[in-house]
Amino acid sequence: MKKALAALLALIALPAVAVDAPTRTFETAVPVRAITRGPLSHWFSYYDKQQFDITGRYALGMEVDFDDRTPTPDDKVVIGMVDLGDGDKWLPLAESHTWSWQQGCMLQWLPGNPGKIIYNDRRDGRFVSVIRDAFTGEERVVPRPVYAVSPDGKRAVSLNFARVDDTRPGYGYKGVVDPGADDFRPADDGIWLVDLETGESKLVVTIKQIADIPQDNPTDGKHWFNHLLFNPDGTRFIFLHRAYRRPIKEGGFITRMFTADPDGSNLRCIADHGLVSHFIWRNPHEILAWSTEPEKEHHFHLYDDQTGRVQAVGPDVLTRDGHCTYSPDGQWILTDGYRDGHSMQPLMLYRPEDGRLETLGKFYIPPERKDETRCDLHPRWNRDGSFVCIDSTHQNGQRQMYLLDVRNFTQKP
């Protein structure tokens, strides 16, 4: 096993591309293979979307012919899937004119609808979402873009992606003018609940409504929402409220975390101490999030949406912010981390039950890859927890998708 792994690493590892880069562009403790290849770039993007179909054979992804600049409204992305059962063959499916480097076009398999995908696009001068059968090509357009889809695939929550593009470049979309761009806390903008079957939508939480709630860190800059996600049974959703500290973007922004019922009722502020970053639902009422609490230290914290209880998770070993998810059986936390002093991005498994930490690998990201064009690993589980897929630029500085075999850790003999 060790000899085979060493041979694999020797075969696909490439020389460092920078003077101060490590001698290898990646290190792994598990078997890994590239499932996409150049000359075009491929990636899936965000970590909290379902990349693998119900059979485990097809992995969604996106393809572009450039890799190092901000996309313009004229730049399109090709949507496709990798056939893992046929030599990792790339199968193009559709195109989108609405995407960002960090979150793509919200591409994902549509829950409860085998064979169907959903993604965002720009059509007739407006942002929309498209439900498409990956095998027949049949499609249906929903008049609002989606941010997160409910577990049954019948509803979604949406927001103003033009406003996100202005406040957080790399996460929103270009090509549509935001009519409320000059309003710091609009009452007619916020989060919409979208019926994916009828196309009807309703504004359920407004930016002004949340901005007017007193907070620990007062701000007088522009407010917006970001990072929406339904809980596993669809009874609640989470969102981040962000605002710049000053009228101009100097001084950074503060973040609060809220939850609500799908209709916007039973609103709760879960974290209000200035910083909340990546998060995931552990179950219908618990949320794992990288955040700061009154001890003034940043950790992963487990929040109970019902009781308000908060506890640190792995504070001595999980010391860096990362894109976190629970394994399908709930036993492991998968997370990555931002680059270290050698420009390597770590990938880790942590088991809360006994505090076991396993480093799956480290992957080189060229120093020039930063800000919105950076390529985070954004690790995603397949449906049975046997494999993990990442996006990485460790080979030739070009983003591609890689599959890691983690069965030795996640599947008991």
DSSP string, 156-174: EEE--HHHHHHHSTTTS--
How confident is the model at residue 23, as a pLDDT? 64
Q: Which helix (H) or strand (E) holds 192?
A: strand 190-195
Mean per-residue pLDDT over the chain, rounded: 92
At residue 21 the predicted structure's pLDDT band, cuts being 50, 70 and 90, is low
At residue 16 the predicted structure's pLDDT band, cuts being 50, 70 and 90, is very low
What is the torsional sign of CA 403, 324, 358, 327? negative
Of 31-40, 83-92, 240-249, 342-351, give the lowest mean pLDDT range: 240-249
At residue 219 the predicted structure's pLDDT band, cuts being 50, 70 and 90, is confident
CA–CA dist 107, 51 (Å, integer): 8
pLDDT digit string (tens) for 116-134?
999 999 999 999 999 999 9
- Please, how many CA atoms are within 13 Å of residue 138, restricted to the half-sphere of its CB? 4
Is residue 404 over pLDDT 80? yes
Is residue 13 over pLDDT 50? no
How confident is the model at residue 24, as a pLDDT? 78
What is the torsional sign of CA 328, 389, 394, 96? negative
Q: What is the pTM of this model?
A: 0.92
Length of the chain: 413
How confident is the model at residue 247, as a pLDDT? 87
pLDDT digit string (tens) for 235-246?
999 999 999 998
pLDDT digit string (tens) for 159-194?
999 999 999 989 999 999 999 999 999 999 999 999
How confident is the model at residue 216, as a pLDDT? 80
pLDDT digit string (tens) for 382-394?
999 999 999 999 9
How confident is the model at residue 147, as a pLDDT? 98
Cβ-based burial of 354 (10 A; exposed 0-12, middle 13-18, buried ≥19)? exposed
**Stretch 50-56: mean pLDDT:** 97
Query: Do residues 194 and 140 touch, judged by C-beta distance below 8 A?
Result: no
ω before 352 within 30° of 0 (cis)? no
Is residue 348 over pLDDT 50? yes
Phi-psi region of 320 (alpha: psi -120 to 50; beta: other; left: phi over 0): beta
How confident is the model at residue 1, as a pLDDT? 35
Query: Do residues 221 and 249 touch, judged by C-beta distance below 8 A?
Result: yes
Query: Do the strands 148-149 and 139-142 form a parallel or antiparallel pair, or are they unpaired?
Result: unpaired
At residue 220 the predicted structure's pLDDT band, cuts being 50, 70 and 90, is confident
**Stretch 289-313: mean pLDDT:** 94
How confident is the model at residue 189, as a pLDDT? 98
Q: Which helix (H) or strand (E) holds 375?
A: none
CA–CA dist 207, 272 (Å, integer): 16
From the list 355, 374, 360, the residue with the least C-alpha distance to 408 is: 360
**Stretch 291-312: mean pLDDT:** 93
CA–CA dist 274, 218 (Å, integer): 10
Of 21-25, 277-281, 304-308, 313-317, give the lowest mean pLDDT range: 21-25
pLDDT digit string (tens) for 67-103?
989 999 999 999 999 999 999 999 999 999 999 999 9
CB-based burial, 170-181: b 16+ in 10 Å, e otherwise: bbbbbbbebeee
How confident is the model at residue 250, as a pLDDT? 78
At residue 366 the predicted structure's pLDDT band, cuts being 50, 70 and 90, is very high
**Residues of the chain with pLDDT > 90: what percent?**
86
CA–CA dist 360, 327 (Å, integer): 14
Q: Which residues are CB-contacts of 400 (< 8 A; sequence separation ≥ 6)?
A: 34, 35, 36, 37, 38, 41, 42, 43, 391, 392, 393
